[in-house]
Every structure is written in structure tokens, then in C-alpha cells.
Structure 1
Amino acid sequence: MIKKLMSYLDKYKIYTILTPIAVIGEVILEIFIPFIMSKIIDVGIANKDIPYITKTGLLMILMAFISLLFGALAGRFASVAATGLSKNIRGALFDKIQDFSFSNVDKFSTASLVTRLTTDVTNTQNAFMMTIRILVRAPIMLICALIMALNINAKLSLIFIVAIPFLGIALYIIATTAFKPFQIMLKKYDKMNAIIQENLIAIRAVKAFVRGDHEFDKFHEAAKGVRDTQRKAEGVIIFNMPVMMFAVYGCMIAISWFGGNMIINGSMTTGELMSFISYVTQILMSLMMISMVFVNIVLSRASVTRIIEVLDEESDIKNPKNPITTIADGSIVFDHVNFRYNNDSDNNALDDINLTIKSGETIGIIGGTGSSKSSLVQLIPRLYDVTDGKVLVGGRDVRDYDIESLRNAVAMVLQKNVLFSGTIAENLRWGNENATNEELEEACKCACAYDFVESFPDKYDTDLGQGGVNVSGGQKQRLCIARALLKKPKIIILDDSTSAVDTTTDSNIRAALKKNLSETTTIIIAQRITSVCDADKIIIMDDGKISAIGTHDELLKNNDVYKEIYNSQQKGADDNA
């Protein structure tokens, strides 16, 4: 697990190596300072040798300054290494998520992935910084100070034989006990972030339905869950400091008592006792630093586990070994296709779908809510893979194609229209990053977006705001259609993407598509029969199955369900007229 994360150090390896080197230099100098101090007391002060005191004092000051310099360098190197590692891990996580299929994203949830990219990576960064600096410094100082203490008075050093095992056992118990509560705490963070995300995305609905108090109660409950689990986890961790201080003060009292007696007996000098106390302080501070690192590692271990889960997750959808990069045409065949979102589920979302669509045809799909219309079309660009059977595009199984090439040949305008922060031009160029201004205008004309874009003072340089908040739902849909058209695809899929526009605009968009995309296979999912009545074929979906296929006239004549939908919509249109 650690080895996998360390592989993301990349160019920051040199800083990871330099940090311990600087730390070692800092520690060695700090170790010798108490020794020099004892010489000043036992030799300089005892003999009233001012030149010796001055010379040795200046040496001690110089060593302290150089030690400080090494410490500053160690801090700098550790910071660069840790922040560099976190940057690379976040990049790797983001790249991994980009490769995920929809089912992979569904497995983790959006809120959980956000937590892993932020909180979990930050915890890992802090733990790594402490590891390469403090976890190097503390053991080296512990060993060196222990050697110096033994050298001064081996008998008095026996006190550590009791203290160190006591602290080691206490730290182990604390670390192992706190791990699981920290794991639970991070899951509670996921839940809280999910509520925040949902609330911010749907803030207009919250205000429209005056549900602010309800949302506050939901958030308060989630925050309370985080607090309670954090309190439980830290309820174990807080024992760390009392245990450490008990050991520190216990050792200091014992050393003061036994050391004082040794001075009285003449077996130890005052300078030796003072330097011994300094080394004891260094030893005990080292143990405290180790315990602090252990606490951080306990927290970060849970975070590292969650990060590795994402990095080790294999995408359900992968490129074949020798992918095809050229799509011959826009023909589509569904051959005995079954599909379910969860392989453990017993129920298919799509059941035995057999369908042939010729290149350049316009296909309409209608059906009730939950009839799996969107599920059907999402199999074409491999947003999901079939469970059984196969989907062919251009005469080849979609699983034989290079994923990027396939998706570049298929343009989708989804039910939920998504625009990004930035200008209208920047959003449109998602369809073709090299599109000229003339091509942007042509696409907008085809999508009936040209007039309202031109009405803005900044036209195509108009800032849409986050999620396209500065345009209406119908305008957003038309911009998304224009963006899809800029791909110049072999297949275009409009998934209920004109629901927010009036019937006249809907008709104009369909007429423009028919004129400009005569060689492109067009699939239109709609609730209104008027949106699909001109299609070459209309497919009626019901409970994940195809219940009927035909032209508008054929279905109106032979299919009772289609006839009933058509009559009810016509009656509604007449009543509204």
C-alpha cells in the first residue's frame, strides 16, 4: 500500500531523500550541544577559565545556528516533497476517475470521491511530511541521546528500561484501537459531503419549496454523526498525551532523585547531571514525537486505504488490445442485448433487445418513465457495457473500438443538460476545441440558439456562470445541442433534450437537424409524440423491452398504446389552444 503511494513521488524523490539528510545533520548537532554545555560547567566554570567558557560558548552558539539552518532546510524539503506527493496523488485519482465507467462512479458515490480527493489526500500529505521528517528525527535523536546518556551514567540510564517498553505498549494499544473509529468517521464525512453537494446543486428547489429548515436538520444530523464518531476516535487518541506526560515526569522525578544522590555521593558532577537531564528531555521528546506521528498515521491509514481503493479500482470498460479507431458509418445493431446495472441483481434493465438502425436514419424512442430508454442509448458509446449480447456500430462490436474514437463518433445530449463555468464559446468548443467562430455560429443556428446568443451584449464571450446559471433551461438545452453538433458525429443522440423548449422551436430544431445531418444517424428520445412523428422509425419501450416498432402512421393505425398517447397529447394541445 505504502509502496504504491510512494510511486507517485516522481520528481519529488530528491526532496524526500534530502529531508532525512538535513534532519540527521540537525540531530547530530543538537546531541552534542548538551555535551559541550557540561564541559562549560565542569571545566570552564569550575576552573573559572573565561577564555575556555568564551571559546566553547561560541562553538555552542555556532552549532545551534547550523542546527537551526538544517532544521529549516528539513522543513522546506519535507514541505515540497509532501505537497508534491499530494498533487501527484490527486492527479492520479482524478485521471483514474476520468477512466471510470458510470458503474464505477456509482459504486463510490460522487461525495465519497470528493472526500477522497480532498480530506483523505490532505491526511496522507500530513502523515508523509511527518514521516520523512519527525519519524526520522525522533528515532535518531532517541538512539543518539540514549548513547550519550549511557556514556555519562549507565546506571542512571536504567530508568529508561522501564519507561520505553511502557510507552511502546501504550502507543500500540492506542493506535490499534483508534483505527476503526477513524474509518467510520471518514464514511460519515462522505455522507455529510453528499448532503452539502445535493443541497448546493438543488438550492433553487430548496428555496422554492421553503425546505431550508428540513435541509438544515438533515445537515445538522450528518454533522452530528461526524462529531460523534470523531469524538469516539479522539476519545482513544487523547490518552496519548497523559500517558506520555506521565512517563516524562516520572522519569524526570526519578532522575532528579537518583542523580541528586549521586552528586552528593560524588559519583556524578553537576554538569553531567545537567547534560544528562538534557539528554533525558531529548529522549522523552523523541518518544512524544513518535507518539504524535503514530496518531497521525492512525488517521492517515484509514485515508490511505480509501485512496488505494480508488487507485486499485479497475474500470468496467477498457480498450481492447488492438482497438479499431475508424468507425465506418452510423449504423447500429442491438443483438439479443440484456443489461443490468448491478451484476448481482436478478432483474434486467433491458431484456432481449433486438434492433437494427441504418446509417443516416432518424429514430424516435418513446415510453413511460422507467422504461429504460436512456439505458438503451447509453450502451451505444459504451457508457455502460451490455450484460449479454452485443451492440454493433458501423458493423463492429462497440467493444472492439478504441473508446475515445467511438465516443468522438457519437454525440449525446443528455437528459440533464450540463454546462461548465466559462463563456458560451468555451462551452461550445467542448464539441470541437478547434472550431472557428463561423462554425460556432452555424451550430447555434442549427440548434436555434443563434438569436438569443446574439442578443447578449458579449455574445459568445458571455460568461455562463457555474453550471450555466445565467441562461434558462431551454437556452441551456439548445447550447448543449449546438455543442454536440460541433463534433460532426456519425451518430447523435438527443435524450429528451428539447423538453424545455416550445413546440415551434422543437420543430425548427428537428427540421434543421434533418437538413444538416442527412448522413448522421439521429436518435431522439422524447415524451411528446410531435417530437418523433417525422422519424423513419419510432420505437416504443415498455419495462425494458421493445413493445412496438413502426412509423408514425403505422403505429397510429396498429398500436393501441401509441394511439392512446397520441390522442391524449392532442386533446391536451387542443384544450390549451
Structure 2
Amino acid sequence: MLIRILREYLRPYRGLIALLVLLQLAGTIASLYLPSLNGRIIDQGVARGDTGYILRTGGWMLAISFVQIVATIAATYLGAKAAAGLGRDLRAGIFARVGDFSAQEVSRFGAPTLISRNTNDVTQVQTVTFMGAAMMVSAPIMMVGGIIMALREDVGLSWLVAVAVPLLALSVALVIRKMIPQFRLMQESVDWVNRVLREQITGIRVVRAFVREEREEARFAEANTQYTGTALAVGRLMAMVFPIVMLIFNASTVAVLWFGSHRVESGQMQIGELTAFMSYLMQILMSVMMATFMSMMIPRATVSAGRIVEVLDTDSTVVEPSTPVSLPSTEDAVTLDHVEFTYPGADVPVLQDVSLVAQPGRTTAIIGSTGAGKSTLLSLIPRLYDVTGGAVRIGGVDVRDAALEDVWDRIGLVPQKPYLFTGTVASNLRYGDAEATDEGLWEALRIAQAEDFVRAMPDGLDSPIAQGGTNVSGGQRQRLAIARALVAKPEIYLFDDSFSALDLSTDARLRAALRPVTRNATVIVVAQRVSTIVDADQIIVLDDGKVVGTGTHDELLETCPTYVEIVESQRSAEEAAA
């Protein structure tokens, strides 16, 4: 998975990476000559007292060091640029893919894990890319070059390289093997912490209202402890690596000095050659350690890459048709033809054999008990979900055959839980129409019965709105969401229980103000409250996912027992409240 991501997302940076490899090559080759030159200074300069040779060779060493420094800095810069570009493109790709998901895929993954995959997981891949650019190019060159240069200095000690390098690689590989499952648990623990934290922040009012702070603290402590335990397990394994590396480093140094001193004593090598050989052995082991350090990061990045690819490879169940059919421009009747819908994994359909026709210029209301499938039915019209049976048509065209943008352009949806974005009143309303004027916004607010409280705000249209609209009341949030739909001037209005937080007088005024605006539009209203839909041209009664009644308010009172029960229950509740 990691290789696939790197191959796909580093393609635009191939030229940059090629230059990086050349710079790494130049810097590494330069560093390989330094120990040899240092040894020559000792053997040919210091031993003979040749100051000129020392200065000349020292000058070459300074020049080579300068080349190495420049190449390393440039390569590090290019590696950082490539890694940052990969992270940017990967985050954009995940965001675009999630943006194409239907409600079904979003529900399957869940918001917390989608957030952590687009942040924490991408960061892991980006980090390993940078480290790979900085280390993995120079490490093999340094190891191979170091072996060659060490053999040039003295073949008799080469068996030390053959022992130390495999011993170091094998020791660290055994530790890394145990890290891989822990890294997967760590990423899952991050998801858990994010989920709990998100729920607590979003539902802080509920937590405080029911005095559940201690329980929520315990829930977070449990998630945090799980993450901490996994991180400690990984940390303990990582802590074993460096003592192992240093043990082998120091043992190799002692071995070189011990066996090399005997060769110097016997005249088989000089002191400078011994110093150079020891430096080359350290370079070889350092390159192995660099590769090992990368190997420690690769398992976690591989797990993260797998989680990222899982999102990127998930196709939306709501797909764009290959040959879209244009929706008619004059007739926008909404028709549900024997519609059936079953949620993934469910045994029983939520909607069964639902048929209705919502005509332009008429208000169609849908009512039913909780869980009857009202909101699900409304979600099928803008293709938040696709039907599993039957068809939904706009103007006689199956919505699955029309372009998604064409369908969405016709619809103004006010969801059951209206959501406002961080910004201002104006920026939220202009989600309906980015080119809307201030006058148009005020007109929409007036119709939605929101003008008074917006004018009372310190900055009017420029007043700030917190994420989710948490700094306004539920009723104000609903009215702003209705105003946002009105700004769009759609041909089809879908109100999903959008008046539930309004008092009866505000509800009545809003419905009266909507009539002239929606005179030529198709209006579908889902409601729990009978008073909201009593004047609807057509009322559809749902019960357990089936249509059990169709008609006006008066007709249903005579023909539909389920509707009569709903009316009587609400009337009884009002009388009890009075």
C-alpha cells in the first residue's frame, strides 16, 4: 500500500527526486573520501613531518566537506519539498474522495476515523517519505561504498564487516517484526481517542445537563490509557534498538582496534590505514542504522497507508451515470414509483412499495410515527442514498440517470439537523448562492422569520457563527437553514422536520410567508407536528415504511386510522399541557 501511494503521488515530483538522488550521490561519495584522506595525512604527512602535504590534503578535505555540506542541505530541502507536496496532494485526494461519498459510506467509516486518516495517517506517510528521501538514498550508497573503501584500506580486517553488518541488521529486524501489530493497534487507538473526544466536545451541553462529567472522564481515560499502553509497548521495543546498535558499534570498534593493532605491530598495515578502516566500518554501520531507523518507521507508515488506501479505494454507492440524461426545465414533479430501501446489513427494508407524486405548485407533506422512514424517504430524492428497489424520478427522469449536479441544482434541502459552518451569517446563507446580494439575503431572512434576531446581532449579516451554529438557538439555527435554502431559489424544496424547534405562531408566520415564494415550486415537507402540515395539498401517512394513507387533512381524518391516532395523540398532549 505504501509503495502504491508513493508511486502514484510522487509522480509529479520525479524530476525533483532525480535531482535529489544526484545530490545525495555527490554528498555520499564526497564523504567516502574523507577517512582515506585523513589516513594519508597521518601516514604520509604527520609521520614524515611533511607540513606541505598536510596543508594540501587538508585543503582537499575542506573542499570535499564543503561539497558534502551543500549537497546534503540541497537534498534535504528537495526531500522536504517532495514530502510536503505528497502530503498536500494526499490530503486533497482523501478530501475529494470523502466529498463524493454518499451518506452510506460516511456512516460506515465514521467521522472520527476519516479525520484521523486525513491527518495523522497522512502525516505518518509524509514523515517516512521525507526520511526516505534524506536517508534511504545515501544509506545504500554509503554502505556499498564504505565496504569498497574499507577493502581498499585492508582486506585482512574485512571479516569484521561480514560479521558486524548482518548481526546489526538481524538484531534490529527481530525487534521491528514485533512492532508491526503494535503500530496497527496504535492507529486504532488514535481513532478511539478522536471519537470519544469529538463526542464529548459536540455533546458538552448534554454531558453537563445530566451531570455525566465523571462518566465521560472515565470513558476518555479508558481510551487514553489504551493509546498510552500501546504507545509504551512500541516505545519499549524502540528503546531496545539503540542499546543493541551501540553495543554492536562499540564491540566493532574494540574488535577493529584489537585485531588492527596486531596487524600494525606486524607491519601489515599502517596507523592511518587502521584509522581509515575504523571510520569506514563506522560509516557502514551508520548506514545500516539509518536503514534500520527507516525500517522502524516503515511499518507504522505502511499501516497508515493501508488505512488511506481503504478510503481512496472505496467507491460511492451513488455514482455519476456514464451518459447523463438532462432533466426537463419546465416540469419538476417528483415521483416515487414503488420505492424500496434497505440499509446495508439490515434484514428488513426501511421503506416498502412507497409510491407518491409531488406536483409543482403544491405542498406534499409526509407524516408518521418515529422510525416510519420519513427522513430516509426524503434522502432518496437528492440521492443521499440510492433506492434498492423502484425508482425516484424528477420530471419523469430517474435521478440515477441524471447528472448529480443537475439533480442537486434543482433541490433546496433543509435537513432534520440543520448545520451551520464556521463563518458569518452571510457566508452561511451564500452557500445557497455565492453571488447573492445583501438585499437578497435580507429577503430570505425575512421570509424565514429570521430577520429580527439577525438585525439584533451586533454585526448583522457579518455576525460570527460558530462551528455547527452552537452560538445560536435551535430555532434560530433552523430558520437560518431555511433562509439558506431560500437564497438558492431551487425548483424543489425539501423540508425535513425543519419547523420542529419553532413555536406555533412563528411556524404559522413562516408557512404563510413561504406560500408566495414557493408558488411554482415543488414542496415536500416532513413533519411530526400536524399543525405544520394541516394546510398541505397532499399528506402522505407512513407507518412502518409503508404508505397507509394519502389525501388532505380532512380526507385522512375520515379514511386513515393511523392519521387519526396521530392527530388525537397530539391533541391530547396539547390539552394536557393546557
Instruction: Calculate the TM-score normalised by the size of structure 1.
Output: 0.97
Structure 1 stretch displaced more, 330-339 or 82-91: 330-339
Letter of the 1:479 counterpart: L
1:434-464 Cα deviation digits (max 9, x unpaired): 1111211111111111122122231111111
2:73 counterpart residue number: 72
User: Residues 287 and 90 (structure 1 numbering): CA distance in 2 closer, same or farther, change over 3 Å?
Assistant: same
Equivalent pair of 1:142/1:282 in contact (CA under 8 Å): yes
1:18 counterpart residue number: 19
Letter of the 2:121 counterpart: D
1:286-337 Cα deviation digits (max 9, x unpaired): 1111100000101101001111111111111111111134344321221221
SS in 2 for 1:239: helix
1:560 aligns with 2:567: no
Query: Take 1:212 and 1:16, find their aligned partners in 2: how far apart are those partners?
Result: 52
2:501 counterpart residue number: 500
Q: CA deviation at 1:100?
A: 0.6
Q: CA deviation at 1:410?
A: 1.2
1:131 counterpart residue number: 132
RMSD between superposed Cα atoms in Å: 1.6
1:254 counterpart residue number: 255
Query: Take 1:254 and 1:412, find their aligned partners in 2: how far apart are those partners?
Result: 77
SS in 1 for 2:34: helix
Structure 1 stretch displaced more, 414-423 or 565-574: 565-574
1:387 aligns with 2:388: yes
Letter of the 1:216 counterpart: E
Which residue of the other structure, out of 336, 339, 344, is the alignment partner of 1:337? 339
Matches within 5 A, 1:157-172: 157-172=158-173
Matches within 5 A, 1:420-569: 420-569=421-570
Equivalent pair of 2:5/2:305 in contact (CA under 8 Å): no
Q: CA deviation at 1:81?
A: 0.8
Q: CA deviation at 1:494?
A: 0.8
Equivalent pair of 1:331/1:360 in contact (CA under 8 Å): no
User: Residues 120 and 4 (structure 1 numbering): CA distance in 2 closer, same or farther, change over 3 Å?
Assistant: closer
SS in 1 for 2:540: strand
1:276 counterpart residue number: 277
Matches within 5 A, 1:166-245: 166-245=167-246
User: Residues 327 and 90 (structure 1 numbering): CA distance in 2 closer, same or farther, change over 3 Å?
Assistant: farther
Query: Take 1:67 and 1:127, find their aligned partners in 2: how far apart are those partners?
Result: 23
Query: Take 1:325 and 1:50, find their aligned partners in 2: how far apart are those partners?
Result: 88
Structure 1 stretch displaced more, 528-537 or 354-363: 354-363
1:210-241 Cα deviation digits (max 9, x unpaired): 21111111011001111222333444444332
Query: Take 2:398 and 2:327, find their aligned partners in 1: how far apart are those partners?
Result: 13
Q: CA deviation at 1:574?
A: 4.1
1:154 aligns with 2:155: yes
SS in 1 for 2:557: helix
1:405-431 Cα deviation digits (max 9, x unpaired): 101211111111100111111100000
Q: CA deviation at 1:52?
A: 1.3
Structure 1 stretch displaced more, 62-71 or 213-222: 62-71
1:29 counterpart residue number: 30
1:102 aligns with 2:103: yes
Equivalent pair of 1:327/1:409 in contact (CA under 8 Å): no
Letter of the 1:570 counterpart: R
1:35-59 Cα deviation digits (max 9, x unpaired): 1111111111111011111121122
Q: CA deviation at 1:63?
A: 1.5
Structure 1 stretch displaced more, 478-487 or 51-60: 51-60
Q: CA deviation at 1:548?
A: 1.4
User: Residues 4 and 299 (structure 1 numbering): CA distance in 2 closer, same or farther, change over 3 Å?
Assistant: closer
Percent of aligned pairs sharing the same letter: 39
Matches within 5 A, 1:114-125: 114-125=115-126
Equivalent pair of 2:420/2:428 in contact (CA under 8 Å): yes
Equivalent pair of 1:350/1:545 in contact (CA under 8 Å): yes
Q: CA deviation at 1:250?
A: 2.3
1:400 aligns with 2:390: no
Letter of the 1:334 counterpart: L
1:324 counterpart residue number: 325
Q: How many residues align?
A: 576
Q: Which consecutive residues of structure 2, in runs of 5 or more, have no partner in the other structure?
A: none
1:570 aligns with 2:564: no
